[in-house]
Amino acid sequence: MRIGILGSGLMGGKLGTIFSRAGHEVVFSYARSKDKLNKLARDAGGKARAGTPRDAAQDADAVLLAVHWSRVDDVVKQAGDVSGKVIISCSLPMNADDTGLVVAHTSSGAEELAKKVPEARVVSALNTVPSEVLFDVFERRSKATRPSLVYCGDDAKSKTIAAALIRDVGFEPVDAGPLRIARYTEPFALLVAQLAYEGNDGPELAYRFERFGK
């Protein structure tokens, strides 16, 4: 697939690198320096390259949105026409100092994003794990037991693409339902962050759901 990365920081940089190593054609965009984007593309190998948000979105089979909530409007504007595009958002609707959600309970960041870009197909995914686990999960992807990763969205075809990419990273995708379920997955992401960064075990934390009974 062609994957455009909008926001090449901790999440976008690592996920773009993994997607490239998994064989996808990746365009890294949106960082404060072009040098950083070029270095990410070089280090990712394969067919990765650096570009503008517009380059990243154009011809992409999927776009990863990985910016702070305060940068969403800007990067979406720079991306240009996203009609029909699959946007996989790992962005959480955090306040300026990352201490709380600015959208919750009766809506979610994912739903607000879908309202901003009604012509796109939004999936909420890859935001319930700390970036620190991503390379380890990718390295261990051939093991029998994979960590779970929840995702949600309203469009079946986009969810199939998101699930394939989640699997490429090394997780077992868990379909949590329609996009409104992001009202629950986004606060869940904060629980994981609490355990990862303020608990005793450090950020190298992923999770696994087990099904019991029928």
In the range 126-155, which residues lie near ligand NAP by CB under 6 A?
127, 130-131
Pairing of strands 121-124, 148-153: antiparallel
Beta bridge partners, 87, equal: 63, 122
The distance from CA 28 to its chain's CA centroid, rounded to whole angstroms, is 13
Element (H, E) at 44: helix 34-44
> Which stretch in 56-64, 111-119, 124-132, 166-174 sits in contact with ligand NAP by CB under 6 A?
124-132
**Using rule CB under 6 A, residue 29 touches ligand NAP:** no
What sign does the CA torsion over 32, 24, 128, 163 have? positive
**Using rule CB under 6 A, residue 123 touches ligand NAP:** no
Q: How distant, in Å, are the alpha carbons of 151, 180, 185 from that of 176? A: 6, 10, 8
**Using rule CB under 6 A, residue 20 touches ligand NAP:** no
Q: How distant, in Å, are the alpha carbons of 128, 130, 182 from that of 173? A: 12, 16, 15
The distance from CA 62 to its chain's CA centroid, rounded to whole angstroms, is 11
Least distance between ligand NAP and beta carbon 213 (Å)? 31
**Using rule CB under 6 A, residue 10 touches ligand NAP:** yes
> Which stretch in 4-12, 99-107, 113-121, 159-167 sits in contact with ligand NAP by CB under 6 A?
4-12
**Using rule CB under 6 A, residue 90 touches ligand NAP:** yes
In the range 172-211, which residues lie near ligand NAP by CB under 6 A?
189
Residue of 2, 21, 36, 39 that binds ligand NAP (CB under 6 A): 36
How many residues of this chain bind ligand NAP (CB under 6 A)?
A: 24
Task: List all residues 6 or more positions away from 206 whose beta carbon is below 8 Å from its beta carbon.
Answer: 129, 133, 137, 147, 171
**Using rule CB under 6 A, residue 30 touches ligand NAP:** yes
> Which stretch in 32-40, 137-145, 150-158, 173-181 sits in contact with ligand NAP by CB under 6 A?
32-40
Residues making contact with ligand NAP (CB under 6 A): 7-12, 30-33, 36, 66-69, 71, 90-92, 94, 127, 130-131, 189
